[in-house]
Amino acid sequence: MKKTAILLGATGLTGGVLLHLLLDDPDFDKVIVFTRRTTGVIHPKLEEHIVDLLHLDLVKKEIRGEVIYCCIGTTKAKTPNKKLYAKIDYGIPVQAGKIAAENGIQSFIVISALGSNPKSRIFYNYLKGRMEEALLQLNIPHLQILRPSLIGGKRQEKRTAENISKFVMGALDFIIPTKYKMVTPQEIAKTMIHLTKHPSQHTIITNTMIKNFWEKP
């Protein structure tokens, strides 16, 4: 049976890659995107809803399918206000998870981060940890949480510190443990689709697991 995929974060780096992979995948006959701005993509399988992602409860009747992919995330530079930051990085995934549980959606796959910890003193890691904690309390049959390291690839917005980190990690890749190696949006997106078709017994998908799925023989 072909699947309907729901995608949040389709205009982001990884979400954009995932969108195109889903549209090209014959196992999915519909891809429903909920986004604050258009993806600019025209495709017969694509159904796009321009919405306020902070209020997904207003469109929960339309959020129906076999799987939700959540690629939501912001940065301190884009969202300096911590309250708004929390509403995005914590609030949107958790709200989507609650809707998944209410609507009987079997699979929920979300991108978190390496180092996520609800007890961390680092705001970013703390928020991701809180988000994971909240999702784990929901009744979702197949919940998978990806914890990638630094994500490579060119973003639309300028991130100077991140770009420096990418350069350094790329140059030193041969000595960096797999746990910390930079991962590509393609590797993450392919892993998310793979987990839909072959659910893992592991709820937490580490950076090492993501890399090992696609390492060259």
> What pLDDT, on a 0 to 100 scale, did the predictor assign at position 213?
81
pTM across the whole model: 0.89
Contact 168, 129 (CB under 8 A): no
Residue with tokens 């999702």: 135
pLDDT tens, residue by residue, 115-173? 999 999 999 999 999 999 999 999 999 999 999 998 885 545 454 444 545 444 454 45
Asked if the structure places residue 196 within a domain, the reply is yes
Angle at 142 between CA 104 and CA 9, to 5 degrees: 80
Asked if the structure places residue 60 within a domain, the reply is yes
Asked if the structure places residue 217 within a domain, the reply is no
Determine how many CB atoms are found less than 10 A away from the CB of residue 76: 12
Asked if the structure places residue 19 within a domain, the reply is yes
By C-alpha distance, which of 170, 120, 116 is closest to 148?
A: 116
What single-letter amino acid sits at 209? M
The range of the structural domain enclosing residue 169 comes to 3-212
Asked if the structure places residue 142 within a domain, the reply is yes
> What pLDDT, on a 0 to 100 scale, did the predictor assign at position 169?
47
> How many domains does one find in the chain?
1
> Is residue 35 helix, strand or coil?
strand
Contact 63, 103 (CB under 8 A): yes
| Helices 185-197, 13-24: crossing angle, 10 deg rounding | 50
pLDDT below 50 — which residues of the chain? 155, 157, 159-162, 164, 166-169, 171-172, 174, 216-217
Asked if the structure places residue 197 within a domain, the reply is yes
Asked if the structure places residue 127 within a domain, the reply is yes
Asked if the structure places residue 12 within a domain, the reply is yes
CATH number at 118 reads 3.40.50.720
By C-alpha distance, which of 134, 23, 139, 68 is closest to 60?
A: 68
CA torsion sign for 61, 46, 142, 178 is negative
